[in-house]
Amino acid sequence: MPVGTQGSVKAIEQRELDEIGAQIILGNTYHLYLRPGTELVKSAGGLHKFIGWRKPILTDSGGYQVFSLNDLREIEEEGVTFKSHLDGSSHVFTPESVVRIQRELGSDIMMVLDECAPFPSDLEYTRRSNALTIRWAERCKQAFVTGSGLYGHSQALFGIVQGSVYPEIRRESARALVDIGFDGYAVGGLAVGEPAEVMYSMIEVCEPLLPGSQPRYLMGVGTPINLIEAVARGIDMFDCVLPTRNGRNANLFTRNGSINIRNAKYKTDFDAPDDECRCYTCSNFSRAYLRHLFQVKEILGLQLATIHNLAFYLWLMSCMREAIKEHRFDAWSKSMITRLRQEETPLPE
Amino acid sequence: MPVGTQGSVKAIEQRELDEIGAQIILGNTYHLYLRPGTELVKSAGGLHKFIGWRKPILTDSGGYQVFSLNDLREIEEEGVTFKSHLDGSSHVFTPESVVRIQRELGSDIMMVLDECAPFPSDLEYTRRSNALTIRWAERCKQAFVTGSGLYGHSQALFGIVQGSVYPEIRRESARALVDIGFDGYAVGGLAVGEPAEVMYSMIEVCEPLLPGSQPRYLMGVGTPINLIEAVARGIDMFDCVLPTRNGRNANLFTRNGSINIRNAKYKTDFDAPDDECRCYTCSNFSRAYLRHLFQVKEILGLQLATIHNLAFYLWLMSCMREAIKEHRFDAWSKSMITRLRQEETPLPE
């Protein structure tokens, strides 16, 4: 899912998201709640109408952003009190209020309020934190089933498995959420600083406990290789700012590893950024032109890099769907990972 | 002509320029000569190939930018010596070199090197400056006819009428240029600080002397009303950064005057920016959404405003062509100017 934090996937138009095959985008409840505000989105007829996007939208619960505020927030049983990063004004998110806000946004997939424990967290903190997350998940489910959508379309609610890097707490969390019952299950609290291998093993811990007939969503991940490794372990959905953020930073993902297009060696390289890619950028422009655009700080550079990177990520996911259907995922992933490892600019894994 | 100074019309894609009906764009020789450099453009096979734009390109001679450098340049008979605004390196533009550079860029319309006299300039300065401009124009023509294009397409060369606000010098300039003989004639040195009425009267002075069968190009102009008034006086072509620059500044041109979309009154305005406009922006997004994008500094705001403003300018020009063909230009322009005057944010005229 391309990330459209504030009601726009950065530097790309909605019709271009359509063109490259995006099936769903993500919006951030925390940001949208503050600006433009839930009331405004409601008066526009919901987020889809407000931003002109007809396909599905997933909204997070706002929890992750709030917990990133550190000094500006306080967690209690009832919910979390936080100060806006914009003007310092005080707000409260409760399980009930984030469901209500997401009802008003009208996202197709809503997320429960959870506490994303920082990394590292000790066992005791993680246990207490996860117990709270489960109690909040119950309250979210309750608020969800007693309410209904405002715009005539159905909405799903996903639970979020927490438990930091502790297998036993991850299992407890997954079991408790499945007992409550959600439309899909996210694995949260990963890609927050732990080694990739630990992340993979946490997915392995959760996977057998999460119903195979429902989507599994790994939040905030990741590099192309992360995606392949996670799909290999049973994950279906991802969101990540890497393709968009790195694109705006001149970092292009290609089938042969990522490249920094600002590098002097691309000055007279008139090949496409990725010669196997069929996106608008790769079909029409050269590495030399993209390098020039970044050198002279033209906005078009951000646009073209964003189109390509998102097209690349969506292509990668479509390859995986295809390979799974055709029972050749293992072979495909091995050879793809080898190609992707030819990275000029190593990315955090 | 949308202005693509550095090989990109800011914040809009080449296919979008096509979509809104741009027939030609402008590139700035001074900027392209410095970055990415003429050699690079040449090795790409010319500017069209480098930037992926198949329709015509007009390049200016670089003179205007060089003369804007003030302390960084020195004018002599041979040409103008200037220091790069990027690194202070020293360069020389001569009539011959700017023709050669534009041959290497491969623009469809090349411009002669001229001195754009500052406003105000006294009569004596203007007379001497224009005499130099005419001698340079002769040398440009000579360099033009003794050379040829590098990429298999023909190139045109336009002269530039100077003469500040002095009718007699304007006339001398126009006559001398027509004697030399060019493929088209620009009126330069206007919209540099003089009142709009003076600009209009200078066009009137030049118009009878410039061949009706060849294009007349008013450089660096202007507001929608400026365009109408200049077309009424015989001008055919324009270039201006107003639609793109103002767009990036949240200023949207509409049939009912220009609006600053940041204004609080658009907060819950779910109408299109211009409800008669058929551009992508106006067909899909509301004033409230655009305002939000500018409030939260999303790049998409710049993109959507740019698409709309350029579409509006090109629509305005197409209306004028239509009205002229149908012999109703006067009536059309009167009513259009009345509508355009409903400006919330007055623009310099």
Please tell me the distance from the alpha carbon of residue B67 to that of residue B60, in angstroms, as a whole number: 13
Specify whether the CB–CB gap between B62 and B92 falls below 8 A: no
Put simply, the chain A residues between 274 and 313 with a CB less than 8 A from any chain B CB are: 280, 284-286, 288-289, 292-293, 295-296, 298-304
- B80-130, pLDDT tens digit by residue? 999 999 999 999 999 999 999 999 999 999 999 999 999 999 999 999 999
What average pLDDT does range A36-57 have in this prediction? 98
pLDDT at position A349: 45
- Coil, strand or helix at A259: strand
What residues of B are in contact with residue A286 (Cβ under 8 Å)?
44, 50
Q: What does the block give as tokens for B185?
A: 């004639």
Instruction: Give the rounded percent of residues in chain A with a pLDDT score beyond 90.
Output: 94
Please tell me the distance from the alpha carbon of residue A81 to that of residue A92, in angstroms, as a whole number: 4
DSSP one-letter string for B282-338: HHH--HHHHHHHHHTT-HHHHHHHHHHHHHHHHHHHHHHHHHHHTT-HHHHHHHHHH
**pTM of this structure:** 0.97
* Closest by CA position to B304, among listed B268, B235, B238, B252: B252
Please tell me the distance from the alpha carbon of residue A288 to that of residue B7, in angstroms, as a whole number: 12
Q: Is the pLDDT of residue A309 over 50?
A: yes
Q: Which of B114, B239, B274, B275 is catalytic?
A: B239
What average pLDDT does range B218-245 have in this prediction? 98
CA atoms within 13 A on the CB side of B348: 10
User: Would you call B60 a catalytic residue per the annotation?
Assistant: yes
pLDDT at position A72: 80
- A205-263, pLDDT tens digit by residue? 999 999 999 999 999 999 999 999 999 999 999 999 999 999 999 999 999 999 999 99
Specify whether the CB–CB gap between B256 and B339 falls below 8 A: yes
- A312-328, pLDDT tens digit by residue? 999 999 999 999 999 99
Q: What does the block give as tokens for B214?
A: 């060849």
Q: Is the pLDDT of residue B242 over 90?
A: yes
What average pLDDT does range B237-258 have in this prediction? 97
- A69-97, pLDDT tens digit by residue? 877 889 999 999 999 999 999 999 999 99
Residue partners of A43: CB distance under 8 A and separation at least 6: B268, B270
pLDDT at position B349: 44
What average pLDDT does range A271-289 have in this prediction? 98
Instruction: Give the rounded percent of residues in chain B with a pLDDT score beyond 90.
Output: 94
Q: What does the block give as tokens for A196?
A: 């990739």
What average pLDDT does range B247-269 have in this prediction? 97
Q: Is the pLDDT of residue A63 over 90?
A: no
Q: Is the pLDDT of residue B346 over 70?
A: no
What average pLDDT does range B254-275 have in this prediction? 97
Give the number of other Cβ atoms within 10 Å of residue A78's Cβ. 13
Plot region of B250 (φ>0 → left; ψ -120 to 50 → alpha; else → beta): left
Specify whether the CB–CB gap between A81 and A92 falls below 8 A: yes
Contact between B296 and A268 using a beta-carbon 8 Å cutoff? no
pLDDT at position A5: 97
Residue with tokens 């149908």: B326
Residue partners of B331: CB distance under 8 A and separation at least 6: none
In this complex, the residue of B11, B285, B292 whose CB is nearest that of residue A300 is B11
CA atoms within 13 A on the CB side of A100: 9
CA A323 to chain CA centroid, Å, is 23
Please tell me the distance from the alpha carbon of residue B228 to that of residue B26, in angstroms, as a whole number: 20
What average pLDDT does range A143-170 have in this prediction? 98
Q: Measured between CA atoms, how close is A223 to chain B, in angstroms?
A: 24
Please tell me the distance from the alpha carbon of residue B218 to that of residue B233, in angstroms, as a whole number: 11
Contact between A51 and B289 using a beta-carbon 8 Å cutoff? yes
Q: Is the pLDDT of residue B140 over 50?
A: yes
ipTM: 0.97
In this complex, the residue of A15, A44, A267 whose CB is nearest that of residue B288 is A44
Better pLDDT: B211 or A69:
B211
- B21-48, pLDDT tens digit by residue? 999 999 999 999 999 999 999 999 999 9
A40 reaches B (C-beta below 8 A): yes
In single-letter form, the type of residue at position B253 comes to F
The pLDDT-based confidence of B63 (bands split at 50, 70, 90) is confident
Instruction: Give the rounded percent of residues in chain B with a pLDDT score beyond 70.
Output: 98
Please tell me the distance from the alpha carbon of residue A36 to that of residue B289, in angstroms, as a whole number: 9
Burial of A89 (0-12, 13-18, 19+ CB in 10 A): exposed
Please tell me the distance from the alpha carbon of residue B180 to that of residue B142, in angstroms, as a whole number: 10
B8 reaches A (C-beta below 8 A): yes
Specify whether the CB–CB gap between A206 and A161 falls below 8 A: yes
Please tell me the distance from the alpha carbon of residue A52 to that of residue A44, in angstroms, as a whole number: 10
Put simply, the chain A residues between 45 and 84 with a CB less than 8 A from any chain B CB are: 50-52
Contact between A289 and B51 using a beta-carbon 8 Å cutoff? yes
Q: Is the pLDDT of residue B348 over 60?
A: no
Better pLDDT: A349 or B15:
B15
Q: Measured between CA atoms, how close is B289 to chain A, in angstroms?
A: 6
pLDDT at position B344: 62
In single-letter form, the type of residue at position B95 comes to P
Average model confidence (pLDDT) across chain B: 96
Longest dimension (CA), chain A: 62
The pLDDT-based confidence of B68 (bands split at 50, 70, 90) is confident
User: Would you call B239 a catalytic residue per the annotation?
Assistant: yes
Q: Is the pLDDT of residue A68 over 90?
A: no
- A286-298, pLDDT tens digit by residue? 999 999 999 999 9
- A175-198, pLDDT tens digit by residue? 999 999 999 999 999 999 999 999
Contact between A50 and B288 using a beta-carbon 8 Å cutoff? yes
Average model confidence (pLDDT) across chain A: 96
Q: Which of A60, A87, A108, A183 is catalytic?
A: A60
Please tell me the distance from the alpha carbon of residue A24 to that of residue A3, in angstroms, as a whole number: 9
* Continuous H helices in chain B: 14-19, 29-32, 38-43, 47-51, 63-68, 95-105, 123-145, 167-180, 196-206, 224-232, 242-248, 280-284, 287-295, 299-325, 329-340
A36 reaches B (C-beta below 8 A): yes
Q: Is the pLDDT of residue A347 over 70?
A: no
Nearest CA in chain A to B5: A298
- Coil, strand or helix at A83: strand
Nearest CA in chain B to A7: B293
Q: What does the block give as tokens for A174?
A: 């997954």
Residue partners of B255: CB distance under 8 A and separation at least 6: B274, B276, B277, B312, B336, B339, B340
* Closest by CA position to B22, among listed B307, B326, B333: B307
